[in-house]
Amino acid sequence: MTESAVLFLQGPLGPFFKQLARTFSKAGYTTHKINFNGGDRLFSWAHVQTQYKGKPADWAAFLKQYLIKHSIEAVFLMGDCRYYHRTAKPVCDALGVKFCVFEEGYLRPDTITLEPQGVNSLSQMALNREKLEKVTPCSAKSSQSIGGTMKRRTVYAAFYYWASCFFRDEFSEYRHHRASHPVKEGFYWLRGFARKWLFKSYDQQMQFRLDNEFDQRFYLVPLQVHDDSQMIFHSPYESVKAFIQEVMTSFWKYADSDKILCLKHHPMDRGYTDYGQFIESLATQLGIQDRVLYCHDIPLPDLYHHTCGVITVNSTVGISALLHHLPTKVMGRAFYDIEGITHQGSLKSFWSNPQPVDRHLFKQLHTFLFQKTQINGSFFKYYDLTCKNSLAFYEAHLKPISITQHSEQDTHSPSTVAPSTSSPYSSAA
């Protein structure tokens, strides 16, 4: 078999990329890993590891030379809007290197996403009604149920940020995509856990009102993480507050007086932001303080059974709302914002005449996503299953065809795998 080489950049917090590299190695690939900080290195494994300590401006030139020198066929990463990753994409495109992007599962909680070129609104699926109508709908259910992962996320985050801080002088030129000081991050996470319990009684009371008093009379607005790339790069809003203000103002102007607006905080943003005072002040200013509610940790599936519609910027929460056949209005850019599935009119028209979900068309979308982008597994548990499924998915859907064909022709030849010669900037695993 002809030797293939793959490169891992930054992945999810924790050992997923380490385990994935081992899985690719056992399958006959030469694996490479570029680390940008101490946290990356802590959770790293590969035949060849490289510590990139250069300036961000020099990264593209460095990567180009690296890809050519080591004959890399594919690059794997998490988060296509991070500086080092979005800079890497045009380099990979120019050299014909497969750009493979992991993301949280579109069809959570039992899947992760893997797509070429980009995810979410950068996805290259180019979906539309005509394309989906050719899909034969079928059952799309993961064999392995995943369950909760928050405790592991918390532990991995703590180790990652402490390692990044401890070695910050060694990687002094590194540019992170969010605040990375462990004390600051630790404070946000602890505050998030504290708020969860402080708001628990309030949320229980709120859920009772939504289930009974406001059943089928409230619109649900799931908020997104304040520094999520979906908000920063793929929405027309400069902040979550700007989105809240537009939705609340439109609701005040055009929604029926018996309707209620419920804004729900994102659980991963609980420790970082709180929009309670802002929402209360704006509602009072508009004179709709009795028609606007704000909650935190009510499970979304519980709310779906009682809401009359969902408004989102572009979160994949919109997909779960559509799964419950709820009229959904997308205010940003999202790959699932398709005629027949989401409301295509203005927000003003959504309040009075939301377009229903074409259930058959959505089932076709669900089938397409499950078959073409989803992998049963998790970034934080069931690593053997997830890594084996990821490798199988890559070889079935993403591996360059010419290489695949050449490998098949050489299946009877002796197979040897040796690490590529490391550069002066590299250190062997």
Residue 32 has pLDDT above 60, yes or no: yes
| 123, 95 Cβ separation under 8 angstroms | no
User: Which of 209, 229, 208, 404 lies closest to 333 in space, CA to CA?
Assistant: 229
Mean pLDDT computed over 27-34: 98
> Token pair 């992991």 is at which residue?
102
What does the alpha-carbon distance between residue 180 and residue 195 come to, in Å, rounded to a whole number? 21
Residue 229: predicted pLDDT: 86
Residue 382 is encoded by which pair of tokens?
């069931």
pLDDT of 177: 75
Q: In sequence order, which ranges of 199-239 are alpha helices (DSSP H)?
A: 200-211, 229-233
Q: What is the pLDDT of residue 404?
A: 41
* Token pair belonging to 287: 């004179």
Nearest alpha-carbon partner for 76 in 146, 9, 143 = 9
Res. 266 pLDDT band, cuts 50 70 90? very high
Q: pLDDT value at position 417?
A: 33
Kindly indicate the confidence band of residue 331, based on its pLDDT and cuts at 50, 70 and 90.
very high
What is the pLDDT at residue 424? 30
Q: Measured at the alpha carbon of residue 394, what is the angle toward residues 391 and 397, in degrees to the nearest 5?
A: 145
The answer, as to whether pTM is greater than 0.85, is: yes
DSSP secondary structure string for all residues of 232-276: HHSSS-SSHHHHHHHHHHHHHHHS-TT-EEEEE--GGGTTT---H
Whether residue 55 has pLDDT greater than 90: yes
State the Cα–Cα distance between residues 107 and 104, nearest whole angstrom: 9
Mean pLDDT (the chain) is 90
Domains, the chain, with CATH or none: 4-104+381-411 (3.40.50.20), 150-369 (3.40.50)
pLDDT tens figures, 206-251:
999 999 999 999 999 999 999 888 898 889 999 999 999 999 999 9
Instruction: Extract the tokens encoding 385.
Output: 């299953």
Q: What pLDDT is attached to residue 183?
A: 72
Residue entry with tokens 């058959």: 360
Please give the pLDDT value at position 4. 95
Weakest-pLDDT range from 124-128, 268-272, 411-415:
411-415
Residue 414 has pLDDT above 90, yes or no: no
Mean pLDDT, residues 178-191 taken together: 74
The tokens describing 290, both together, are: 């009795």
pLDDT, tens digit (0-9, with 9 covering 90-100), for 62-102: 999 999 999 999 999 999 999 999 999 999 999 999 999 99
Residue 275 clears pLDDT 70, i.e. is over it:
yes
Say what the pLDDT of residue 401 is: 76
Task: Tell me the mean pLDDT in the region 366-390.
Answer: 97
Give the residue-averaged pLDDT of 123-144.
Answer: 93
Distance (Å, whole) CA 114 – CA 376: 11
DSSP structure class, residue 133: T
Q: Is the pLDDT of residue 359 over 60?
A: yes
Task: Give the sheet arrangement for strand 307-312, strand by strand.
Answer: 292-295, 260-264, 218-222, 307-312, 328-330
**308, burial (CB in 10 Å: exposed 0-12, middle 13-18, buried 19+):** middle
Least confident piece of the model among 184-193, 203-212, 267-276, 409-418: 409-418
Find the mean pLDDT for residues 334-352: 97
pLDDT tens readout for residues 280-301: 999 999 999 999 999 999 999 9
Confidence (pLDDT) at 193: 85
Instruction: State how far the Cα of 9 lies from the Cα of 7, in Å rounded to an integer.
Output: 7
Using the structure block, give the residue that is written with the tokens 């590969």. 46
**Amino acid of residue 383:** Y
251's tokens: 């609701």
Q: At residue 420, does pLDDT exceed 50? A: no
Percent of the chain exceeding pLDDT 70 equals 92
pLDDT in tens, 2-28: 579 999 999 999 999 999 999 999 999
